[in-house]
Each structure stands twice: as structure tokens, then as C-alpha cells.
Amino acid sequence: MEAHLLEWMNLIVRWVHVIVGIAWIGASFYFVWLENNLDRTVKNPELAGELWAIHGGGIYHLQKYNLAPATMPKHLHWFKWEAYSTWLTGVLLLALVYYINANSYLVAPGSSLSATATIALGVAVLVIGWIAYDLLCKSPLRHQPALLGIVLILFLTVAAWGLSQFMSGRAAYIHVGAIIGTMMVGNVFFVIMPAQRSLVAAVEAGETPDPSKPKNALLRSRHNNYLTLPVVFIMISNHFPSTYGHEWNWLILLGVSLVSVGVRHYFNIRHKARQFIWILPVAMLAMFVMAYVTAPKPLPIVADQQTNETPAKISDDKALAIVTQHCVDCHAAQPKSPAFASAPGGVMLENVLQIRLHSEAVYQQSVATQVMPLGNMTQMTTLERQQLGTWLLQKK
């Protein structure tokens, strides 16, 4: 019953997280697009630009003021709850998946840290990440956006490497995503919203608004825009063990993040300079290179310590015994593991037919990337992985 309740809590929180995340991403993408496509030749001195658009059968006329109109409108929409809701549900989901079942999902096999210490590390990096990022944005680097971006990328790369020393690959990835998400929501809560409140208050008081605050808010908003796609990749990465399960997982995360930022940049500026079209083929080439580099290598030949023989041909009974010992506690119609109410992903491996049905996934997860069993809690050996891999390949 506890596992069933946890599964439904996971489902509900994940679903809400996706819904509000889409709303936040949509708003971010739209307003950066709007900013980049404003007609700056408008003759009205109060306006920074305007844009005419057609959508859904209607024509829209959008105007941006240099700072604000002389009098504030009665109804002014604020974009904030999308960001807050995304972060709150994300943190709750992090706790539900990685902290409640820390020994299974969070702690790296062989880590010197306990589950409690690893959870504390995970929480600490969120706070430290925001403080470090905010200090960087307030440093002289704020006047050199490109250099600030490079320093930020290096900071996140070091964080990914450090976390991967103590956390499982998928947990390290998701914590880097949580660091970025905390930076983004921190931008909204601590920088963008105060700047907007200050702007509105100044207009309502008949004072001249301070232009530096909206300018800084726009910079942080652009940071959020560029950070969005790396976070989206991290959100889906646990479906792809070739990334988080690779020995160079932190470097792969860097590569995919750079590709994501590059693609986002192209779509941000493509209306200005068509020569930047080269970004797309370079991004595609980079993805193919990473796919090639991360291709699984054959396991080293390991001899059985009892017979001193290397696996040549593995029987169905032997393969089933390996899977039963290491996989069936979770991947069964009625899992014995308290962490699951039903087989993860609907994958059941209780007989040879079921194993053959999921042979590609079993090979990828247990042999090629070795991310399963979770945390290698059942102590699956290299020899057993090799024997299982041999059996799976000989059945093709």
C-alpha cells in the first residue's frame, strides 16, 4: 500500500510539474521572441517598440514602453506563479523519487557517503548554487555576458563532476538540473519581481523609475531563456542510460548542454543574422559524435573463479537464474521490493519469454551501461553481466 501511494504521489506531482513547467517555458520563450522581434522604428517616444501578429484567427497589436506608461492600467498581468509552481513541484518530486528511496536511486555504488549525508549534499548544492550564481551576476563579469556565460558553464560542469562522485549518474544529473532550476526561480523571485514591483510603484507614485533595475531583470530573464533547454534535457535524461550511465557522464552533460544553448541562441537571433544557420548542423554533428563516443564497449573477458572458464554459450536456465537473483525483486507482477507497487515501466522479467521480449532494454541497462540493478544493491558481478550479455546476444 505504501508503494502504491508513493507511485500515485509521484504521478500527480510529476504531472503538475510538467504542466506548470510548460507554462513557464512557454512564457519565457514567447517574451524573448517578442523582445527580439519588436519593431524599434516606432515613432512614439514612449515606446521601445511594437509588434503586429496574427494567431488563432485574431490580430494582435503589442507595444513595449521604454519604462512604463504615464499611468498604470487597472489590470496588469504578472508572470510569476508558473516559475514558483515549477520549482516547488520539482523539489517535491526530487524528494519523492531520490530522497525517500535514497539507497536505491540517490547514492552511488561504493560511495563513502551515507544516504543521509548524500541527501544533505543534494540540498546544500541548491543553496550554494544560487548564492554562487547570484554573486557572479553581481560581479564585474555582469558587464561581459560571454565571459560570465563561460564561467557559469564551468561552474555547473564542476558541480556535475563532483556530484557524480557521490551520487548515481541519474541523481547527479537531476541535481544539476535542480541547481539550474533554483537559479532560474531565484532570478524570478529575487531579481525580476522586485524590479517590476519597483517600476510599478515608481509610476504610481509619480516618480521616474530607475532604469537599471528593469535592465538587470531583462538580463536575468535572458539567462533563464538560455538555461531552459539544458534543464529539459536533464528532465528526460533518465530514459537514456547511455548519458547518465557513462563513465564520462558529466562531460556528456556538458556537451548536450552546450548544444542546447547553441540551438536556443540560434532561434533567439535567427531573424537578425542568417549566417548563424551553421549552428544547427554543428549541433547535429556534435550529437552524432557524442552518440559514437558513448557507444557501449564489450565487457572484459572474466573467467569463472570456480571453473576458470570464460563464458562461451550460456543456457536459458543460467540466464534466468541471473535475472531472477538480480532483477525480479522489482521486475515482477508483484514486486517484493517495497519501493514498487508494480513492475517499473511495466517490464516483468520472471521467465525467459519476458526477458527475450525486453532483451534490448535488459542489455542496455544491465550490460552496456550497468546502471541496473539500481545502485547495484544485489551486487551483480562483471562475470554475471558478461554471461547475461552473451546469452542475450546469442539469442538474436
Residue 23 lies in a domain: yes
Residue 309 lies in a domain: no
Is the backbone of residue 46 left (phi > 0), alpha (psi -120 to 50) or beta? alpha
Q: What is the pLDDT of residue 313?
A: 82
pLDDT tens by residue, 251-281: 999 999 999 999 999 988 877 656 688 999 9
Residue 210 lies in a domain: yes
Q: What value does the mean pLDDT take over residues 24-40?
A: 93
Does a cis peptide bond (omega within 30 degrees of 0) precede residue 300?
A: no
Cell of 392: 542475450
Q: Are residues 18 and 150 in the same domain?
A: yes
Show the DSSP H helices in the chain as ranges. Answer: 2-37, 81-94, 115-138, 145-164, 169-186, 193-204, 212-236, 241-244, 249-269, 279-293, 316-326, 352-357, 359-362, 382-394
* Residue closest to 369 by CA, chosen among 251, 253, 246: 246
Average pLDDT, the chain: 91
Q: What value does the mean pLDDT take over residues 89-107?
A: 94
Residue 163 lies in a domain: yes
**Distance in angstroms (rounded) separating the CA atoms of residues 13 and 25:** 18
Instruction: Give the least confident one: 48-57, 95-104, 165-174, 330-339.
Output: 330-339
Q: Are residues 367 and 286 in the same domain?
A: no
* Residue closest to 218 by CA, chosen among 345, 48, 103: 48
Q: Are residues 147 and 78 in the same domain?
A: yes
Is the backbone of residue 354 left (phi > 0), alpha (psi -120 to 50) or beta? alpha
Phi, psi of 80 (to 5 degrees): -145, -40
Q: Are residues 190 and 279 in the same domain?
A: yes
Q: Which residue, of 250, 278, 293, is where some domain finishes?
A: 293
**Distance in angstroms (rounded) separating the CA atoms of residues 284 and 23:** 27
* Residue closest to 338 by CA, chosen among 104, 92, 158: 104
Q: Are residues 67 and 195 in the same domain?
A: yes
Q: What is the pLDDT of residue 62?
A: 94
Q: What is the pLDDT of residue 79?
A: 93
Q: Are residues 213 and 149 in the same domain?
A: yes
| Domain count along the chain | 2
Residue 386 lies in a domain: yes
Q: Are residues 287 and 320 in the same domain?
A: no
pLDDT at residue 362 tops 80: yes
Q: Are residues 120 and 39 in the same domain?
A: yes
Q: Are residues 205 and 333 in the same domain?
A: no
Q: Are residues 100 and 168 in the same domain?
A: yes
Instruction: Give the least confident one: 11-15, 74-78, 203-207.
Output: 203-207
DSSP per-residue letters across 310-362: --S---HHHHHHHHHHHTTTTSSSS-SSTT-SS-GGG---SSHHHHHHTHHHH
pLDDT tens by residue, 77-87: 999 999 999 99
Residue 307 lies in a domain: no
Q: Are residues 264 and 372 in the same domain?
A: no
pLDDT tens by residue, 220-246: 999 999 999 999 999 999 999 999 999
Instruction: Give the least confident one: 45-54, 290-299, 357-366.
Output: 290-299
pLDDT at residue 17 tops 80: yes
**Distance in angstroms (rounded) separating the CA atoms of residues 193 and 170:** 33
Q: What value does the mean pLDDT take over residues 49-62?
A: 95
Q: What is the pLDDT of residue 312?
A: 67
Residues facing residue 61 across a β-bridge: 52
pLDDT band at 396 (very low <50, low <70, confident <90, very high): low
DSSP state of 296: P
Residue 197 lies in a domain: yes
Q: pLDDT: is 280 or 375 the higher one? A: 280
Cell of 304: 569463472
Note down the domain range covering 359.
Answer: 316-394
Instruction: Give the least confident one: 187-201, 308-322, 331-345, 376-390.
Output: 308-322
Residue 311 lies in a domain: no
**Distance in angstroms (rounded) separating the CA atoms of residues 280 and 73:** 42
pLDDT tens by residue, 296-323: 776 655 555 555 555 568 889 999 999 9
Other beta carbons within 10 angstroms of residue 195's beta carbon come to 21
* Residue closest to 164 by CA, chosen among 256, 248, 254: 248
* Terminal-residue alpha carbon distance, the chain: 39
Q: Are residues 85 and 190 in the same domain?
A: yes
pLDDT band at 94 (very low <50, low <70, confident <90, very high): very high
